[in-house]
Chain A
Amino acid sequence: MITLTHYLVLSAILFSIGVVGVLIRRNAIVIFMCIELMLNAVNLSFVAFAHYLHSMEGQMFVFFSMTVAAAEATVGLAIIIAIFRNKETVNVDDMNIMKW
Chain B
Amino acid sequence: MPNTSIMTFNILSILPVLILAGFGMMVLVVDVLSSRKMGEKNFLAYLSLIGVVIAAFLSKNFTGTTLFSFYGAYTIDNYSLFFQFVFLLCAGLTILISKNYVQRENINYGEYYTLILFSTIGMILMASGADLLNIFIGLEIMSISIYILVGMKRTRLTSNEASLKYFLLGAFSTGFLLYGIALVYGATGTISLRQIAVFIAGKGGVLDPLLLAGMGLIIVGIGFKIASAPFHAWVPDVYEGAPTAITAFMAVGPKAAGFAAFLRIFFIAFGQVHQDWEKIIWILAVLTMTTGNIIALIQTNIKRMLAYSSIAHAGYLLIALVAANNMSVSAILFYLLAYLFMNIGAFAIVIVISQKEDSFLKISDFSGLAYKHPRLAIAMTLFLLSMAGIPPTAGFVGKFYIFSSAIKSGYVLLAIIGVINSVIAVFYYLRVTVAMYMRGPEREFQPLTLSPFIFVAIIISIIGTIQLGIFPAKVLEIAQRSILLLR
Contacts and interface: CB of A to CB of B under 8 A. Distances in A.
Direct contact of A and B (CB under 8 A): yes
Interface of A: 8, 15, 18-19, 22, 28, 31-32, 35, 38-39, 41-42, 45-46, 48-49, 52-53, 55, 57-58, 60-61, 64-65, 68, 71-72, 75-76, 78-80, 82-83, 86-87, 92, 95, 97-98, 100
21 contacts: A35-B168, A39-B174, A42-B175, A42-B179, A45-B183, A45-B186, A48-B186, A53-B189, A57-B190, A61-B182, A72-B144, A75-B144, A76-B147, A79-B163, A82-B151, A82-B163, A83-B163, A98-B161, A98-B236, A100-B236, A100-B298
Contacts of B191: 57, 61
A41 B151 CA distance: 29
B133 A97 contact: no
Given A28-B164, A98-B241, A100-B295, A45 B189 contact: no
A25 B24 CA distance: 37
A45 to B, nearest CB: 4
B117 to A, nearest CB: 16
Given A75-B167, A79-B147, A83-B157, 11 more contacts: A15-B179, A28-B168, A48-B186, A60-B133, A61-B191, A76-B167, A78-B148, A79-B148, A79-B167, A86-B160, A95-B165
A35 to B, nearest CB: 5
Contacts of A22: 168, 172
Contacts of A71: 140, 144
Interface residues of B, number: 42
A26 B50 CA distance: 45
Contacts of A48: 186
B185 interface: yes
A18 B175 contact: yes
Interface in B88-142: 133, 136-137, 140
Contact of A45 (B136, B165, B167, B179): B179
Nearest to A60: B133
B237 interface: yes
B189 A55 contact: yes
Contacts of B164: 28, 79-80, 83, 92, 95
A36 B171 CA distance: 9
B188 to A, nearest CB: 9
A98 B144 contact: no
Contacts of A64: 133, 136-137
Contacts of A80: 164
A57 B179 CA distance: 15
B304 interface: yes
Given A28-B164, A79-B151, A83-B160, A68 B137 contact: yes
B150 to A, nearest CB: 9
B4 interface: no
Interface in B274-319: 295, 298-299, 304
B158 interface: yes
B154 interface: yes
Contacts of B240: 98
A92 B148 contact: no
A87 B157 CA distance: 8
Contacts of A92: 164, 168
Nearest to A80: B164
A83 to B, nearest CB: 4
B155 interface: yes
Given A46-B185, A68-B140, A100-B295, A86 B157 contact: yes
Contacts of A61: 133, 136, 181-182, 185, 191
B380 interface: no
Contacts of B183: 45
